[in-house]
Chain A
Amino acid sequence: MIYKIMLGIGLTIIIIAGLSLPMVEIPKFWYEMPIVPGLGDKARIIFFHVPTAWVSVIAFISSLYFGIKYLRTKEFVNDIKSSTAASLGFLFCILATLTGAIWAKFSWGTYWNWDPRQTSIFILLLIYGAYFTLRSSIENEEKKATLSAVYSIIAGLTVPFFIFIMPRIVSSLHPDPIVNPQAKIHMNPTMLTIFLISLLAFTGVYLWIFILKIRVLNLILHHKMKEHE
């Protein structure tokens, strides 16, 4: 219960603060944020877009983790966790792609321009898509669990290659002042706080839905087991 209230408060804060706090040239008061050169109010998307991308990556990693755990233990719960994480990851991945594309339209003039981060999220979408296509085309539950875990491990192993290859093939259009290769964040404390609360709150939302879905699926599984006994 506390958890849900905290989540509610967190999300309210970021929506109100993220959208309404003024952006000025040189912030003087605690509630003012710095203007990002060339972006203006469009920079506010960072509070909503970056966390969705962040969650889709977290979900991918946890799906991978539970997949490996399934292969080791052969316990069905782990497959349920793995596929649930993947389905949420897929959802957030779509959100990240859409919010990113809308923003790109207003900043760079086109919805899509193969910048490294767009390409990365696109590849993540492809992997998720392949993962669910694979799952839907295997009937045997055990085989489905095993093969999809194996596939996500192989897919996970190719991700580091992209991180290495991408920057050398295409150059980035992503707003350097905010997110740059050196991982320096040019934000004032106010902006950073809202940003971090936002990351936290989105991760919280993800965990909340994740736990709910696991509970439902576990109930279904137990019910099925009882029927067969």
Chain B
Amino acid sequence: MIKYLIPIIALFQKDFKSEIRTRYALNALVMFVITTISIILFAIAYETPPYEILAGILWIIIFFSAMSGMARTFISEEEKNTVMTLHIITTPITVYFGKLLFNLVLLVVINCFSTVLYILLMPNFSIKSPDIFIITLILGTIGLASTSTIIAAIIAKSNTKGTLYPVLSFPILLPLLLEVIKTTKLALEGEYFQKAIPDFQVMIAYFIVITTSSYLLFDYIWKD
């Protein structure tokens, strides 16, 4: 186990250090979230939107910030021509899980930031069932990280990288998005935890299915 973990963490550290030095993703993402939330605030102009809309908007922000940040991990290797270097020094599995870990951490940071900002600024967005909301955020984040990592690996090999990313991700992410929007609404309505359990089960199953299939298919994407 340790034998597999060390290279994965080493690869993660490499990306992490590189991100700290260049701040390619993080700065842009923070600005993206701030701009999006201000546009929404201008648009609703102190009205109080219903719960469905509030839940939907939060996840739209999270979806698009993921779409503008998660692709970098693979695209940057492709642009710097270091894909072959990784081929030579490590296995595809290490690359996949290293990148997944990096995307997950990046997404956790950016989702915490957007959620806090959203709760502070959005009128009427008060969480009445924090337990449902926290589990929703956790499961939504890991599911989103898992899907966006494998799609990022695919689009890194194409010509139209950036534009293609949301196009390919959306149909795959739709079941997850429908579920998280639904449970966020439950959290706003103050429902009992039991009511959200079936949805959480679907989200866990989603994460397992996507991660396992990515693990099995990554070899094909990675090998030229």
Contacts and interface: CB of A to CB of B under 8 A. Distances in A.
Contact of B171 (A71, A147, A155): A155
A215 interface: no
A16 interface: no
Interface string A81-124: 00000000000000000000000000000000000000000010
Interface string A142-158: 01001101110111011
Contacts of A161: 175, 202, 205-206, 209
Q: At the interface, is chain B mostly helix, strand, loop or mixed?
A: helix
Contact of A126 (B170, B206, B213, B214): B170
A161 B208 CA distance: 12
B87 interface: no
Contact of A134 (B150, B154, B210): B154
A138 interface: yes
A164 B209 CA distance: 14
Contacts of B167: 129-130, 133
B202 A150 contact: no
Interface residues of B, number: 30
A153 B168 contact: no
Contacts of B47: none
Contacts of A150: 154, 217, 220-221
Contacts of A71: 220
A143 B164 contact: no
A57 interface: no
A169 interface: yes
Contacts of A151: 154, 168
B67 to A, nearest CB: 13
A158 B150 CA distance: 14
A35 interface: no
A127 B220 CA distance: 20
A141 interface: no
Contacts of B214: 154
A165 B217 contact: no
A165 B178 contact: yes
A161 B199 CA distance: 11
B159 A154 contact: no
A69 B168 CA distance: 22
B169 to A, nearest CB: 9
Interface string B191-224: 0000000100010011001100110010011001
Given A130-B168, A161-B206, A153 B217 contact: yes
Interface of A: 71, 123, 126-127, 129-130, 133-134, 137-139, 143, 146-147, 149-151, 153-155, 157-158, 161-162, 164-165, 168-169
Given A126-B171, A165-B179, 11 more contacts: A130-B170, A130-B171, A133-B167, A154-B150, A154-B210, A155-B171, A155-B172, A158-B172, A161-B202, A161-B206, A161-B209
15 contacts: A127-B171, A134-B164, A137-B160, A147-B158, A150-B154, A151-B168, A153-B213, A153-B217, A154-B150, A154-B172, A157-B210, A157-B213, A158-B175, A164-B202, A169-B178
